[in-house]
Amino acid sequence: MTARNPNSDQFALLEFKDHITGPQNVLANNWTASTSVCNWIGVSCGILHKRVIALNLTSMNLRGTIPPHLGNLSFLLSLDLSSNHFYGHLPKELGQLHRLRIIRSSYNCLNGEIPSWLGNLQRVQRLKMKNNNFTGTIPETLVNMSNLEILHLGFNQLSGQVPSSIFKISSLKIIDLSSNSLSGSLPSDMCQHLPKLEVLYLHRNELSGNIPLSMDKCNNLKMLALSMNQFTGIIPITIGNLTRLEELDLRLNNLEGQIPEEIGNLLGMEMLIIQAIKGLTGQIPTSIFNISSLKTIDLSNNSLSGSLPSDMCQHLPKLEVLFLHRNELSGTIPSSQIP
């Protein structure tokens, strides 16, 4: 009976309105029982059944909590509350919204733990909850979100290890867990089940151990940021197999050894940043200066030695930033100028 009663959607949204405030009282004046819910600001309805299928309240400067009544919007496909001032916990009743495809709640003040009931929402393709105040660990239940393509949990206060099950969601294209306090090492086979992954942002955490040799199995990777962690060991030569890579940022880790010559295979790369707290040694591979797409090269704060090729700028027509300071480089500064 509830599924046939559009008034259940109206009731849920009116309860939601009572929990929030906003400038000029936009919702208070527009969300009224005297007009169809399908005509309300931020609300979209299905053509046939006139049930609410999307709620888009992004960037409306709204403040308040999210009430459990939203869990009654049983036809909801998309929930976007991003860029507001919502606070408090996400109510468990949202776990009833089994039709949901998109959840956006980034840039708010939500707190508590990442809810384990998110694993019930197996149709969700985009889960964006970055820039909040979430604490605790990432729940293992997220592995049940078998259609997930985008996972944004960056800029929170999450801790503990990254569940290895996350790396088994083969539909994932973007993983952003940056700027938390996540620890532990990455699974050695983390890329075996991620054939579609294009973006991996794990920077600004407390991750340790080696960078997995199997990283090249993520062969669609375009952006790889592992900077500002505690990774140790060498830079694996297999990174040179990531031929679609555009950005590689490994700065401020405890890496050692040399920069592998194979990085010169990354002919589409635009940004290369490699700094090591202990300092990488050896010469800069000349193959790096043949990557004509490069816009930024930052190899500063290492212990790199040797001289620079006299023609190093001949193949770098797009280069805008070149940082090589705090090394042990010698020889003459190349006379050729950057085009």
266 within 8 A of 241, measured Cβ to Cβ? no
Q: Are 288 and 264 in contact (CB under 8 A)?
A: yes
Instruction: Report the distance separating Cα 283 and Cα 72, nearest Å.
Output: 62
H-type helices in the chain, by residue range?
7-18, 26-30
Average per-residue pLDDT in the chain?
Answer: 94
Q: What percent of the chain has pLDDT over 90?
A: 89
Whether the predicted pLDDT of 3 surpasses 90? no
The bridge status of strand 321-323 relative to strand 296-298 is parallel
What mean pLDDT is predicted for residues 291-310?
Answer: 95
The Cα 179–Cα 194 span in angstroms is 22
Nearest partner of 222 among 203, 195, 251, 244, judged by Cα: 244
Q: Is the pLDDT assigned to residue 230 strictly greater than 70?
A: yes
Residue 2 has pLDDT above 60, yes or no: no
Distance (Å, whole) CA 246 – CA 79: 32
Q: Give 209's strand partners.
A: 231
- Reported as a single tens digit per residue, the pLDDT across 255-287 is 999 999 999 999 999 999 999 888 899 999 999
Asked if 191 and 168 count as a contact pair (C-beta separation under 8 A), the reply is no
Tokens of 162: 């990254």
Instruction: Give the pLDDT of residue 7.
Output: 58
Residue-wise pLDDT tens digits, 23-71: 767 888 899 989 999 999 999 999 999 999 999 999 999 999 999 999 9
DSSP string, 141-203: GGGG-TT--EEE--SSEEEEEPPGGGGG-TT--EEE--SSEEEEE--TTTTTT-TT--EEE--
Q: What are the angstrom distances between the C-alpha of 157 and each of 61, 93, 134, 177, 181?
A: 23, 24, 6, 10, 6
Give the pTM. 0.95
- Yes or no: say if 294 and 318 are a contact pair by the CB < 8 Å rule: yes
Mean pLDDT throughout 62-91?
96
pLDDT exceeds 50 at position 22: yes
Helix (H, G, I), strand (E, B) or coil at 221: coil
- The secondary element (H helix, E strand) that includes residue 274 is none
Return the structure tokens found at 7.
Answer: 């008034």
Question: Looking at residue 116, what is its pLDDT?
Answer: 97
